[in-house]
Structure 1
Amino acid sequence: MSFSINTNVGALAALQSLDSTQQSLNNTQNVIASGLLVGSASDNPAVYSISQTMQANIAGLTAVQDNLSFGNSVLGVAAAAGSQISSQLATLQNTVTQAQQTGISTSTMNTQINNILKNIDNFANNATFNGVNLLAATGTTGVTTDTMVIQDTINAGGQLTVGNQLGGSTAMTQALGLTNLSSTSGGLQYSFNSSYAPAAGDYLQLSNGTNNWVFEFQTTGSTPSAAPSGYTLGANAGGGTNYLTNVIMGTSTSPMAAVGALINSLQQSGFAASLSNNGNLTIAGNNVSSTGSAWEKASTAYSSGSSTNEAGVTQTALSGGSAAITIVQNAIGTMNGIAAKIGATQQEVTGMMNFSSSLSTSLTTGSGALIDANMASESAQLNSLQTKQQLAIRTLSIANAQPQVLLNLFQ
């Protein structure tokens, strides 16, 4: 064994042990301070990469949950307004039915009807949450999230919106087919069978004896159809006006979709028009009558008569009052369908909220299992390293004292 004051092997070994212990102690203190076993890529590159991906997914789910909560609130407001509208429709049916009794003031009952219609539109127009309204005017962006559009079947799918394609403050009553409803509304009813096949140029003509209306079908992108032969637009010999409206339908539109487009055009022209659950079209308002009204094939010359020659279409006259009751019953059916679809979408959103919450919890738990520190284990490790640090310092002190012993050899 050699003794050297230039190379103190014991001190070097003690210093190396102390450095190693100090590094481990610093790491343990960082883990305890942060609570993370893997706090950076240098700790464990593979685990850190996985945890970062999971954290990004958790952040994305948080945004989705926020948007779903917003959507659920919009749906809740729409559902509450829909419930009030359904209640008003029940009152409306009672009012229209009472108005048919002998001795009841028609003027008074019509005032009540108009007030109910105003209430319906007010409920719909005020069913707005943060600028989104599912029941009123067109132009709403619907309910969306960052990762999806909540789909529904109201108005043949797309973003969740009930307001049809109608705008303005009376969009809801138009969508329900209640425009210009009165207690004495007579009207027309059209039924369809499987042979009905709408084509460009087919038209529905309506008349109240003074004014005449023609609603002519036209396919998307085609040149607007001219008025039927024998039908002159503008003032007529009866002191009224002849009107023409082009009803736009797709090139492969189904018969009932074409009827739906017709209903929109009728409503925008001031008629009460609605489709019952069994597919019957009821038209009232503007004092329309069966005289002079008909459904005609393309290229059929206009006639003031009421002979319908469109295959698969049957016209029936509704007496005063009965048309009003039918229109209200159709509106109740329509509103029930809207309420059911809103409710179904609420269930869908609630399910998505529950799923995203569960998924976020699972990801958070999984991420924690990868990177969170076991504090009990780290506490024991800290005590152990502190003891080793003290021993290493003591050993280094002893090793540093050894060269001093060599002085005794030179005394």
Structure 2
Amino acid sequence: MLNSINTNPGALLALQNLNATNTELTTTQSRINTGKKIANAKDNGAIWSMAKMQSASSSSLNAVKDSLQRGQSTIDVALAAGDTITDLLMKMKEKALAASDTSLNSTSLKALKADFDSLRDQITKAAENAKFNGVSLVAGSAKPLVFLANADGGNFTVNAQTLGLQGLGLSTTGTTFTTAAEAGSMISKMTAALLTATNKLSALGTASTGLDTHLTFIGKLQDSLDAGVGNLVDADLAKESAKLQSLQTKQQLGVQALSIANQSPQSILSLFKG
């Protein structure tokens, strides 16, 4: 081995090994600090890009969930109004049946008519006021509502089910009575309107169930995407902790080795002592 005061191969080798250890130690400390084995594109460009795309998909699903939850609320309001309307129709049928009794005097008939007309008008109020965030599925002018279904902009459509008088086959002028005979004819109309209302509420209930199921799926999909991203970029902290201890020990030994290598040229001085 060349004995030189200009070049110290042993020290150079020791320094190379120490630098390599320091680089590994820096990487391990970064993983422990961030909790990620791939924190940026420099660590692994392909995996980082893949993880970013999946994270974007997962984040965009938050907007989908918000849209579907608004849909849930809108349908819930419509169903609540529908329950009220069916109750009103049953009461109207009861009033019409009572008024069809020919033994009633005119005062009682007028009282039943007033109750019947009042219940009829409440149907219109219930349908028009059944709005969530200004949107209704049961008002006379209600239109189908379209909500987000996926991160690509797909739609989930809920058809309107109008529960106002017109939607039930009734009207303000035609749905009333002044005689017992007219009251009798209202009984069948109320039965038909009640059947129409329950069918429309059944359709809304089916849409609500479908929306709830899709919302549950979106939640599971988002969890799966987040877990997938974690598998790609998250660090195994237990493994990194063990590696940190090893590298710290290796670093200390590397410093000692470099120190010993730097002392080698001093042995040449002994050759010049008389």
TM-score (norm: length of structure 1) = 0.61
Moved over 4 A (4+): none
**Contact 2:48–2:233 at 8 Å: present in 1 too?**
yes
Q: Deviations over 1:163-190 (max 9, x none)?
A: 3xxxxxxx7122212212113489xxxx
Instruction: Report whether the alignment pairs 1:177 with 2:169.
Output: yes
Please say if residues 38 and 44 of structure 2, whose CA atoms lie closer than 8 Å, have aligned partners that are also in contact: yes
1:67 aligns with 2:73: no
**d(CA) in 2 for partners of 1:133 and 1:320?**
34
| Correspondence for 1:403 | 265
Q: Bigger relative contact order, structure 1 or 2, given CA contacts below 8 A and separation 6+?
A: 2
AA of the residue aligned to 2:130? A
In the TM superposition, residue 403 of structure 1 has moved relative to its aligned partner by 2.1
Rounded Cα–Cα distance in structure 2 between residues aligned with 1:111 and 1:97: 14
Which of the two has greater helix per residue?
2
- Give the residue type in structure 2 aligned to 1:182: T
Give, in whole Å, the separation in 1 of the partners of 2:13 and 2:94: 101
Aligned partner of 1:292 in structure 2 is none
Match of 2:139 among 110, 133, 136: 136
Matched, 1:108 2:108: no
What is the rounded CA distance, in whole Å, between the counterparts of 1:381 and 1:331 in structure 2? 75
Whichever residue aligns with residue 128 of structure 1, its letter is: K
Shift of 1:46: 2.6
Q: CA deviation at 1:47?
A: 2.1
For the pair 1:150 / 2:156, whether they are aligned, the reply is yes
Aligned residue pairs: how many?
265
Report the counterpart of residue 353 of structure 1 in structure 2.
215
2:58 paired with 1:58: yes
Q: Report the counterpart of residue 161 of structure 2 in structure 1.
A: 162
Task: Kindly provide the CA deviation profile for residues 312-362 of structure 1, in whole angstroms up to 9, marking residues without a partner as x.
Answer: xxxxxxx63343222212211110011101100011011101111121222
Which residue of structure 1 lines up, in the alignment, with residue 129 of structure 2? 126
Q: 91-100 or 395-404: which moved more?
A: 395-404
User: In structure 2, how many angstroms separate the alpha carbons of the residues matched to 1:131 and 1:321?
Assistant: 37
Residue type of the alignment partner of 1:368: G
**Contact 1:109–1:183 (CA<8 Å) still a contact in 2?**
no
Aligned counterparts, 1:236-255, within 5 A: none
- In the aligned structure 2, how far is the partner of 1:126 from the partner of 1:72? 17
Q: CA deviation at 1:408?
A: 2.6
Deviation at 1:63, TM superposition (A): 1.8
CA distance, structure 1, for counterparts of residue 81 and residue 111 of structure 2: 27
**CA-CA distance at 1:39 after TM superposition:** 1.6
Instruction: Return the alpha-carbon distance in structure 2 between the equivalents of residues 130 and 329 of structure 1.
Output: 33
Q: Which runs of 5+ in 2 are unaligned?
A: none
Aligned CA distance change for structure 1 residues 19 and 43 (closer, same or farther; 3 Å): same
Pick aligned residue for 2:226 from 336, 361, 364? 364
Equivalent position amino acid for 1:162 in 2: Q
Q: Which residue of 2 aligns with 1:286?
A: none
Q: 2:206 aligns with which of 324, 332, 344?
A: 344
The alignment's TM-score, normalised by the length of structure 2, stands at 0.89
Q: For residues 32 and 384 of structure 1, do their structure 2 counterparts lie closer, same or farther at Cα, with a shift above 3 Å needed? A: same
Gaps of 5+ in 1: 153-159, 164-170, 187-318
Q: What secondary structure is seen at the aligned counterpart in 2 of 1:36?
A: coil
Q: Report Cα offsets for 1:217-244 as digits up to 9, x if no partner.
A: xxxxxxxxxxxxxxxxxxxxxxxxxxxx
Q: Distance in 2 between matches of 1:345 and 1:139?
A: 16
More strand by share: 1
2:191 partner amino acid: Q
AA in 2 matched with 1:344: T
**CA–CA distance in structure 1, aligned partners of residues 43 and 170 of structure 2:** 70
Give the CA deviation at 1:140. Answer: 5.5
Cα pair distance change 1:87/1:54, threshold 3 Å: same
1:263 paired residue number:
none
SS of residue in 2 equivalent to 1:144: strand
Distance 1:5 1:12, change over 3 A: same
Per the TM alignment, residue 31 of structure 1 is displaced from its structure 2 partner at its CA by 0.7
Q: 1:141, CA displacement in angstroms?
A: 6.8
- Cα distance, 1:115 vs structure 2: 1.1
